[in-house]
Amino acid sequence: MMGILNVTPDSFWDGGQWFETQQAIMRGHEMIAEGADIIDVGGESTRPGASEVPVEEELARVVPVVEALAGRVRISIDTTKAAVADAAVEAGASLINDVSATLWPVAARHGVGWVAMHRKGTPASMQLDPRYDDVVAEVSALLVDWAARAADAGVDDVWIDPGIGFGKTVDHNLQLLAALDALVATGIPVLVGTSRKGFLGVLAASPDGTPAPVGERLPGSLATATWAMQQGAAMVRVHDVAATVQAAVLVGRKGADTGAGA
């Protein structure tokens, strides 16, 4: 389980909650206690329409948090900037979570892991009118190609992620989730992030068509995380670690600590 820690003022769900360094570190410890295996520290929102954060600002947000939590749990750095990835690895991160799928040379240079996520377009444009002939085939082919490039460059620990919500309609997201087994069948560990995303709001809209607000998307988040785990995803990226751990235990994807030797 990967716990999301956005040290940002504007992330679509936890934006502003952990923007202050000490608050972020506290939340990191809390997620470790709840059962997170990896904490994914991010200093720039990737939500549709988000504006870019200057590198110095992003460094100031994430580096102290990575430093404080590394050693307690595995840390991934959610960034698209090589300089931020460099500094976060120096501070103790061992996985680069890269929604731009461009930073494998950085991972190779440091000998750390790399997550290749698929997205179409940039946060400014990606949700305007995304189109694919065959979303599952196109996304899978690109991910496998990127993973091969990274492996050739010497990255041993490569993950692939279909990038739910990144340049995809509701239907594209559902097609990708339905076909997760095809990604899993590549043999490359699959990471899936659906947590509280917009398509869950659309699917849980009220009778008048108003999408469920982000605060009411936990049921969909748990249902899709559970589905992903059952399809063989190696990791789910979630805001709600404690609740998702409960779901994972129920489907046998996380050891239950019952105290009764069960």
Q: Is 12 in the site for ligand HH2 (CB under 6 A)?
A: yes
> Least distance (Å) from ligand HH2 to the CB of residue 12?
4
Judged by phi (left if over 0) then psi (alpha if -120 to 50, else beta), residue 253 lies in: alpha
Q: Apex CA 134: angle with CA 187 and CA 113, to 5°?
A: 35
Give, as one character, the DSSP assignment of residue 70.
Answer: B
Q: Which of 81, 197, 217, 253 is catalytic?
A: 197
237 binds ligand HH2 (CB under 6 A): yes
The whole-angstrom separation of Cα 114 and Cα 95 is 5
Catalytic residue check, 27 = no
CA dihedral 6, 9, 14, 17 (to 10 degrees): 100
Q: Is 79 in the site for ligand HH2 (CB under 6 A)?
A: no
Q: Does 42 sit near ligand HH2 (CB under 6 A)?
A: yes
* Chain residue whose CB lies nearest ligand HH2: 193
Respond yes or no: is residue 168 known to be catalytic.
Answer: no
CB of 214 to ligand HH2, least distance (A): 10
Question: Is there a contact between 139 and 188 (Cβ–Cβ < 8 Å)?
Answer: no
In angstroms, the CA 103 to CA 220 distance is: 31
Contact call for residue 11 and ligand HH2 (CB under 6 A): yes
Q: Which of residues 186-205 bind ligand HH2 (CB under 6 A)?
A: 191, 193
**Which DSSP string corresponds to 163-177?**
-TTSS--HHHHHHHH
What tokens does 123 get?
A: 């946060």
Q: Which is nearer to ligand HH2, 35 or 189 (CB)?
A: 189
Residues marked as catalytic: 197, 237
Chain residues that interact with ligand HH2, rule: CB under 6 A: 4, 6, 8, 11-13, 42, 45-47, 78, 97, 99, 115, 117, 161, 163-164, 191, 193, 237
